[in-house]
Structures are given as C-alpha cells and as structure tokens.
Structure 1
C-alpha cells in the first residue's frame, strides 16, 4: 500500500469506493433505510474534483497497481471530511494509515485540533487514534433517522 495525493483519474473510482463502503461496511451498524439516505446513489466524480481543488489535503491509498483502496481528506480548519476504505481492504490498516498521514499534515500546517462527524464504524477507528466523542448527532433525512458522532482530538 502507498499513500499519495489525489489525482484526477481517481475521482470516478473514489465515488464507487464511497458508495460500496457505505453500503457494505455500514450494513454492520445501520439499517438499509439509513444506508439509502446516507448514500442513495454513487456520487458524481465532479464532487471529488471540486473537493480536491478547494485547498484541502486529499490523500488516496493505492494498491500495488495504483488502484485506490481508501481515501481521506482534511479541510484547512481541521475538519476530517472523509475517511473511507474499500470494503475488500477493511480491517487491514488502510484507514489508520491514511489518518496518520492526515494528522502529520495537520501538524505541519499548524492545526492544533481535529474534528470529525464519524459513523459507528469510523467512531471505533477514531477512538483508537485518540479522538473523544463530544456528542451523538441525530439527523432526519427524508423521514429516516440516522446518527453519527462529533469527535475531536487535540494534536
């Protein structure tokens, strides 16, 4: 596994990875109705292009064939917006490796506090990296209640 900056050619594959991750890994903690409002369809590749150009740090973990197996991004204010792993690589340290690179980048930029809205599965990863839960958040989306956790870490 190698971690590198986002490249334009990653966009479509990351959209597929996100949707697969939500529906396959999320099914351990969320109902099918909740998963459907979280990711009703594969997002557009243009979403990733836009995010990659807004000043955030956007990292992609790739396999030996340079195919994306995970990704994460850090906004300038310390917000970890995404941290997703391809379901076939879950539990193999991909998310942890991406997170550690993002934390180093945050320190390099003088960011002293990270925050994230984490799903159930991601909550466990972030707790293992020293994040604390500030609050359980409840969201009503299209009549379906879904939750995540606001978590923070001083670095």
Structure 2
C-alpha cells in the first residue's frame, strides 16, 4: 500500500476525529474492557482542540493514501509531547504508525527538543516500542470512575 505523510489541514479535523473514535471502538477492546472503552469514548475530546494545539507550537502529520484516504495521524505538542497517535484499524501493521512517529521526530529535532514522550494506550504500546520508545512507567487512573491504564513512554533525541 502506497501512502505519504503530509502536514495536517483544517479540513482533516472531522475525519481524524472519526478515525480516532473508530480506532478506540475497534482496537481498544483487545486490551480494555467494554466499560473502559465506553468511558474512553465518552470522555474523548472533540476536534476543536486540533487547531489550538497547532497555534501553540505543535504539529500534526497525517498519513494519506493515493486517493486521499486518511490512514492515521500524530498530534505533537510543543516541547515533544505526543498527544495522539491513531491509525485506521484496517490499516494497522502497515508501517503507518512508524512513519508518523518518524515525522514527529523529524519535526522535533530542529526545534532542539530533547525527547518525545507520550501516554500510550495498551494497543499503541507496541508501535511506540518498535519506534525506539521505552516505558517510563505504567500509569493507573480513572475515567468517570472506571479504572484505566496506559504507559508513560519516551524517546531521547
């Protein structure tokens, strides 16, 4: 499958929101209970913060195929925090997440950020590990009273 990585465009927002929610609905049940998935979806932020994060010095990169279908994206905040990394469930295991993380790294280096870091969900953990991130700690928390966990991960640049 041929695809390319390009910068985010405002018209991507609705599609990326749908892609995120689809990934949570389909991929998250492999590692989280139905109650956990429902809590995550109910409290997932809407698309209104994409443009705000970008105006604060962040970046967003989108993977698209030859027909323009959005395959995934990475949303990077100033300072190196990876706020979101999602791929379309139908396009998993095709290197999309790896290329998105490489784009984030390529963006971070000239900004002299010392590291990239994220709170990776259980399904995303392997993609981060394949890209050279290591686990800092398991994070246990609650969403709406439902116990959850994810992984604090980082990569030194």
Task: Using structure 2 for the length normalisation, give the TM-score.
Answer: 0.92
CA RMSD in angstroms, aligned pairs only: 1.5
* Displacement of 1:41: 7.1
8 Å contact 1:118–1:148 — kept in the other structure? yes
Could you report, residue by residue, the CA deviation over 1:63-103 in whole angstroms, capped at 9, with x for unpaired residues? 11222110002212111111100111111111111101111
* Displacement of 1:51: 2.7
* Displacement of 1:42: 7.0
- After TM superposition, list the pairs within 5 Å mapping 1:10-49 onto structure 2: 10-40=12-42, 43-49=45-51
* Runs of at least 5 residues in structure 2 that lack an aligned partner in the other structure: none
8 Å contact 1:16–1:42 — kept in the other structure? no
8 Å contact 1:21–1:85 — kept in the other structure? yes
- In the comparison of the two structures, how many residue pairs are matched? 155
8 Å contact 2:74–2:82 — kept in the other structure? yes
* Runs of at least 5 residues in structure 1 that lack an aligned partner in the other structure: none
Of 133, 136, 145, which aligns to 1:134?
Answer: 136
Q: Give structure 1 regions of 4+ aligned residues with deviation exceeding 4 angstroms.
A: none
Distance in 2 between residues matched to 1:65 and 1:42, nearest whole Å: 28
8 Å contact 1:18–1:42 — kept in the other structure? no
Task: Using structure 1 for the length normalisation, give the TM-score.
Answer: 0.93
Paired position in structure 1 for 2:57: 55
* Displacement of 1:54: 2.6
Of 99, 102, 121, which aligns to 2:101?
Answer: 99
Paired position in structure 1 for 2:84: 82
Distance in 2 between residues matched to 1:50 and 1:65, nearest whole Å: 28
* CA shift in 2, pair 1:62/1:131, >3 Å: same
